[in-house]
Amino acid sequence: MRAQIIKTVYIEVARRLNVQTDGPECYTGNSYRIDLIAEGPISEAVGWVVDYADLKSLFEPVYSMLDHHCLSDLPGLECDSSPEALEVWINRQLFPRPSWFSGVRVYPVEPGGFHLQRLEADIRAGLPDRYSFAFSAAQSLPQLPAGHPCRELHGHTYQLELACRNKAAMPSVGNALYTRLNGQYLNRLPGLEQATAERIAVWVWDYLETNGAEPIVVGVQETSNNRCYYFGRQAAE
C-alpha cells in the first residue's frame, strides 16, 4: 500500500517589485503556504509513510532562511521571486533528499482584489457585526533589538476587520483603505514607520474616523494565529 501525505507550513516574507534608479526600491509582502509532500508505502509497524515531524525537520533549515526575510535578497531569487521560482529554489535546497520526499508546492496567500465580507457578531469576544477584507504588504519593525525576526524586512497577507456605525460608508472607505495599503511597504506610510499590528489598527481607526465611518472596533490579523483588536482611545482610557 502506498500513500501520499502533506504537511503545510506558512512563511511571512517580503519581495522586491523592481529596482528604481531614481528613487527607493519598491517592496511588497505576502504570506505563503508551502506544502511538503511525502510518498511511499504505509509501514506495517507504525501505520504511516513517515513521521510528520521528519517532514518538519527536513524543511526547518530552509524555513529559517525564508521566514521573516525578503526573498529577493536570497541568492538565486534576486531576479525572480515568483511562486514558481520559489518552488524550484526550495526543491534545490532540499537535496540530497530522503527516498520518501517527493517535493513541495508553493501557494501565495493573496487577496485577489478587494472583497468585502460580512462577519457575524462574536458575543463571547465582545465583537459586533463587522466587515473584513485582505491585503498584502511588506513591513519591518526597526525598533526591535538586533536578532529579533520581526526586525527584518518581511511581509504578511493581512486580514482587516472593521466595525463602524456608518455602515453605508463601508464599501467606499474599505476600498480606499485597500488601495492605500495593498502592495505597499507599510513603513513608508506616514504613521506606520513602526508597523506593528497595534499601530496599523490605530492608523486604520484614525483613517475611518477622518472619513466619517465612525469606527467601533478595528481588527488586524497578521497570521492565522496572531491578531489584534483596537477599540479606540476612549475605551483604552
What are 24-34's pLDDT values in tens digits?
788 999 999 99
pTM for the whole thing?
A: 0.89
Reduced to 3 states, what is the DSSP secondary structure of residue 34? strand
Backbone angles phi, psi at 225, to 5 degrees: -120, 15
> Torsions phi, psi of 72, nearest 5?
-70, -10
| 98 lies in the same domain as 15 | yes
Q: How many domains does the chain have?
A: 2
> How many helices and strands (H and E) does the chain possess?
5, 9
In the chain, % helix, strand, coil (3-state, to 5) comes to 30, 35, 35
Spell out, as residue ranges, where the chain has pLDDT lower than 50: 236-237
Sheet hosting strand 26-41, strand order edge to edge: 2-18, 26-41, 101-109
For residues 124 and 225, membership in a common domain is answered with yes
Asked whether residue 128 falls in the same domain as residue 59, the answer is no
β-strand partners of 161:
132, 219
Last residue of a domain, one of 90, 109, 128: 109
Burial class (CB in 10 A: 0-12, 13-18, 19+), 94: middle
Claim to verify: residue 38 and residue 135 sit in the same structural domain? no
How far is it, in rounded angstroms, from Cα 214 to Cα 169? 9
Statement to judge: residues 30 and 81 lie in one domain: yes
Contact yes or no for 133/163 (Cβ under 8 A):
no
Element (H, E) at 2: strand 2-18
Instruction: Find the CATH number of the domain harbouring 11.
Output: 3.30.479.10
Give the model confidence (pLDDT) of 191-220 as tens digits.
999 999 999 999 999 999 999 999 999 999
For 62, the domain range is: 2-109
Q: Which of 109, 127, 158 lies at the terminal end of a domain, its last residue? A: 109
Do 17 and 49 lie in one domain? The reply is yes
Q: Are residues 19 and 75 in the same domain?
A: yes
Same domain as 131, residue 84: no
How high is the pLDDT of residue 237?
47
Regarding whether 99 and 26 lie in a shared domain, the answer is yes
69 lies in the same domain as 24: yes
Say if residue 101 is in the same domain as residue 159.
no
**pLDDT of amino acid 21:** 55
Please identify, among 66, 91, 109, the residue that sits at the C-terminal boundary of a domain.
Answer: 109
The pLDDT score that the predictor gives to residue 17 is 85
Residue pointed to by grid coordinates 501520499: 4
Phi, psi dihedral angles at 18 (to 5 degrees): -165, 165
Could you tell me the end-to-end alpha-carbon distance of the chain, in angstroms, rounded to an integer?
Answer: 63
Regarding whether 190 and 162 lie in a shared domain, the answer is yes
Amino acid, single-letter form, for residue 212: G
